[in-house]
Structures are given as C-alpha cells and as structure tokens.
Amino acid sequence: MGLRVLAAMSGGVDSAVAAARIAEAGHDVTGVHLALSANPQSHRTGARGCCTIEDSRDARRAADVIGIPFYIWDMAERFQRDVVEDFVAEYAAGRTPNPCLRCNEKIKFAAVLDRALALGFDAVATGHHARLVDGVLSRSVDQGKDQSYVLGVLTREQLSHAIFPLGDSTKVEVREEAARRGLTVADKPDSHDICFIADGDTRGFLSKRLGSAEGPIVDQEGEVVGSHQGAHGFTVGQRKGLRIDRPAADGRPRYVLSIEPVSNTVTVGPRSALEVTTITCGRPVWNGPSRRGDLTVQLRAHGEVYPCRFQESGGELTIELDRPATGVAAGQAAVLYSGATVIGSATIVSAS
C-alpha cells in the first residue's frame, strides 16, 4: 500500500523529478511550495535564490505535469525568525553560520514535517542529493552534488519520515529525466549561495541590519595593519576583501585568523596560521548506526574530508584530525562519516 507523501517543490529541477518519481512509484503525493519571503521578487537574479514568484509558478507547472495536487504554504515568518535572524545573530557573534543547514533543520524537517504529520502524511520528500540506506543517511552517488552534509543535523526520527528519491542518480541523469517527462525546469539553473541574499552581497546584507562600526585589523603581534567597518563582514579563512594598509613583510597574502565581536577586532596572518588539528564542538546529533571504524569529518558544504578520531564528554565533542585543516570557522557544522554513511554532526565552537 502506498504512502501519503508531501513533496516539497522549490521550483527547481531536483524537487520536480523527486516528486515525479514518488508519484510514479504509486504513492499518494501532494506537492507544496514553501513561500519563504514576505516580499518575493518576480524573477530570479541570475542563478541565485529560490524564493521568487517565478519559482512558485515553476513548481505549480511541474505539479500539473506530474498530475498531483499542489499548494503553497506561507513559511515566511518562521523562515525569517529561524533562518534569517539566526544568520544575522551568528555573524554578530563572530561565527559563520550555514543557512541551508539551518533551513533543513528548522523549516523543512521541523515546521514542514510537523505540519505534514499532523495532516496525516507519512513522509516528506525533497530533491536533496542524498540517500537513505535502511533508514541511515548516506552520500549521493553524485559526489559533486552530494548534500548529505547539510542534512547531517537531522535526527533519526526526522530521517524516518524523509524520502530522498534522487540519491542514486547524478545531476545529469536528473536533468535528462526531467526533459523526458516534459518538465519545463529541465534546464533551469541551480540556485546557489544564500537564497535570501539574491545579489550575493553578504557583507552589504549584514551591514544593513547590523550597521557599520569601524574597528582595527591587527596581525598576530597585535599591530594594527588596517581597518574595517564591521567585524561581521568577515569569516575565518577569508583572503579577499581585507582592507590592509601595511603589507606583510614577507609579501605573502594574509588571511582572517579570528574575529572578536566584543572589541570589533579582526586578526589576520599567514595561511600556515590557519592550520588546526583539534576541533571542539557542541550540540552533537547522533543519527547513524555506529561510532567506530575509520571515520572522516567534513567541515564545510562540499568541503574536503579529513580522517579523524573523536571523544564525547558532557555534551561536548572533541575531534582530532589526522592532518591539519584550514579555514575552520565557529558556527559551521562538523559532520562525521563512516565511509559514505553519516553517523552524526555537531556545531563547531573552536579550533586549534
């Protein structure tokens, strides 16, 4: 007997094909587009964003082709509070958040899933490139499009009501299938970067909300080498956009090493000073079957993976890397893997 499935449809090719596959498999599918912006633009800006009127229309047209009911759910207020305001607050605190990860955690698999279950649906399907193998989250077969990292914060209970139909397909295969099915989004560009910052100007977006406050840029010895208009405009590992008046004596580029929001100070130094081997994390979520074996950790979306070991004590996770990583920023997620299988995640607090 088929399941009652709510298919989240963003207006892109992935979610459209995911909904089509679930419907073709014999499930009772209803499509839903999440209205996440209180004042959506009419059209996308390039390939950025996923919250426009155009996207909702694309989602509706895809649902019509598939032959499933379609609704729009207004999640703008919840999205503003749990994703946008959280994003701003994290930068104000000197951390670097991942809004896509927070949206999955707080919107798609909390607010949406809770409402879906209350309405009698059995599961929520999305177009994420990830697999569920016997209920356990695993990487997509398309390593270049794998999104298991941004799903690593989900709990076992949430994953038990999730369906990811695209995990065994490459993006090329998904687009080809969309064309065969007559879905007009087959060639639609992927959204990227941060959906609620359509022009890609994160620093400008934050400045409008947090204002400008001139502060010093210092080197590792505490010498002032430049100035800035707000520490919230920087992230650890950043190289470009630094207002440095005094070049390094060795002529090599400087990188952001740390951000101190209280004193509004940004510290810069050589790339070698970014190297860390110990990462301290909070809020661990264990959603995999085992914590043993050869483990790796991913520290950014589509980032490199590092062989590692870890210890958990008092709700705190300490991860020891077998080789140094660079650009590890507080606020990002550390997602632990055993092979292709996600075993858990935690939020990075500090690194050394």
| Residues forming the active site | 103, 195
The total of other beta-carbon atoms located within 10 Å of residue 187's CB is 10
The b-or-e profile of 13-44 (16+ CB within 10 A means b, else e) is: bbbbbbbbbbbeeebebbbbbbbbbeebeeeb
Beta strands in 92-185 (DSSP E): 123-125, 130-133, 136-139, 162-163
Residues in the chain: 352
CA–CA dist 278, 298 (Å, integer): 14
Work out the end-to-end distance of the chain between its first and last CA atoms, rounded to an integer number of angstroms. Answer: 53
Which residues, 6 or more positions from 342, have their beta carbon under 8 angstroms from its beta carbon? 136, 137, 138, 139, 148, 151, 152, 287, 288, 335, 336
The alpha carbon of residue 64 and the mean position of all alpha carbons in its chain are separated, in whole angstroms, by: 29
CA–CA dist 49, 62 (Å, integer): 19
